[in-house]
Structure 1
Amino acid sequence: MPPRSKVATLPAEVKAWLDQALAENNFSDYEALSAELTERGFAISKSALHRYGQNFEERLSALKMASEQARAVVAAAPDEEGAVNEALMRLVQEHLFKLLMTDRDQIDLPKVAKAVAELGKASIAQKKWQAEVRAKAEAAASEVEKIAKKGGLDAETVAEIRREILGVAR
């Protein structure tokens, strides 16, 4: 097994500074970063920084791409019922379950337990929100139905308005 990366052993505040400096410098000038770390008491070669920087840049790029794609999906198909969020929660649940089944000795059980608890809270909040949205839509549809009947609309028009409000396919 290869030795642990020197960057991974940096204190959190120094690593946070390094990550920010890498991003601000557009993942370049590793010699200057190495010199700065040496001044701070951490001897890390420019090659080691470059290896870390490449990996970090790839992860950051993937995260930016995922964020851009998520924005595009939301813009193209607004998710008023929370289906995307629900699907994401199920995906995370599935991955956590697989993690528990395969890597039991290598996981931080308190962190996984916290993630499961947070996921449960999010799921409950999602269901509550969906129920509230459905109730509001139903109330609005019923109110429009009352108003429409007073205005002399025929049953077919009232049904069409109700379907539009509730989002029911024809």
Structure 2
Amino acid sequence: MPPRSNIAKLPDELRGELNRRIEQNAFAGYEALSDWLKDQGFEISRSAVQAYGAKFKEKMGALRIATEQARAIADAAGDDANAMGEALVMLAQEKAFQVLLDLEIDADEQNFGQLTRAIADLNRAAVQQKRYAAEVQSRAKVAASEAETALRAEGISDDTVELIKAKFLGIAA
């Protein structure tokens, strides 16, 4: 594993301010940012700041894409047996895995532990999501069966009962 960059070693607060300044400068002005870091007591070259800025820009783009994907999933899924939640969990799992692949992570660091914890939480959420979807489907079947019995008792035709049941269960007729 390559050594951590000097920017990765910056205190979180200072790195956050650097990120803000990089964005504010539209991913340019790296010489001035290097000088600013020097004023803060950290000797980091312009090329190192520029390389970090390029990676940061790429990650920001990926985050925007992920946000757009999540919105598209939400719009497309509606609340179809919580399909949106399942899709969002899958998207989050994919992004967390991508972070594991892309970042320079020191396994001894707390960040790695937080990331693996987040992945474990996502996996638990996926299991709960599947349980919830199965429970919703089971309840829908019970309710459809009860409605079918009541409709037949009222003398509704078999075709109409089956059509209502299919609509209730979300099955294409």
TM-score where L is the length of structure 1:
0.71
Amino acid at match of 2:5: S
Q: What whole-Å deviation, never above 9, does each CA across 1:142-167 have from its counterpart, x for those lacking one? A: 45435544654211111111111112
Q: 2:92, 2:18 → 1: CA distance?
A: 32
Q: Structure 1 residues 52 and 87, CA, compared in 2 at 3 Å: closer, same or farther?
A: closer
Question: What is the CA deviation profile of residues 53-104 of structure 1, one whole-angstrom value per residue up to 9, with x for unaligned ones?
Answer: 0111011112211321332233234462435357558868xx69xx9xxxxx
What are the residue-to-residue correspondences of 1:53-132 with 2, within 5 Å?
53-78=53-78, 80-81=80-81, 82=83, 84-85=87-88, 107=107, 111=113, 114-115=117-118, 117-132=120-135
Residue 166 of structure 2 corresponds to 163
Contact 2:70/2:88 (8 A) holds in 1? no
Structure 2: 5+ residue stretches without partners: none
Q: How many residues matched? A: 161
Following TM superposition, by how much is the alpha carbon of 1:40 offset from its aligned partner in structure 2, in angstroms? Answer: 1.2
Distance 2:151 2:34 in 1: 73
Moved more, 147-156 or 37-46: 147-156
> What is aligned with 1:41?
41
Alpha-carbon contact 2:140-2:168 (below 8 Å) kept: yes
Partner of 2:141: 138
Kept after mapping to 2: 8 A contact 1:27/1:57:
yes
Question: What is the RMSD computed on CA atoms of the aligned residues?
Answer: 3.6
SS in 2 for 1:7: coil
Q: TM-score, normalised by structure 2?
A: 0.70
Contact 2:144 2:168 in 1 (8 A): yes
Cα distance in 2 for partners of 1:48, 1:58 equals: 16
Structure 1 CA distance, aligned partners of 2:61 and 2:133?
33
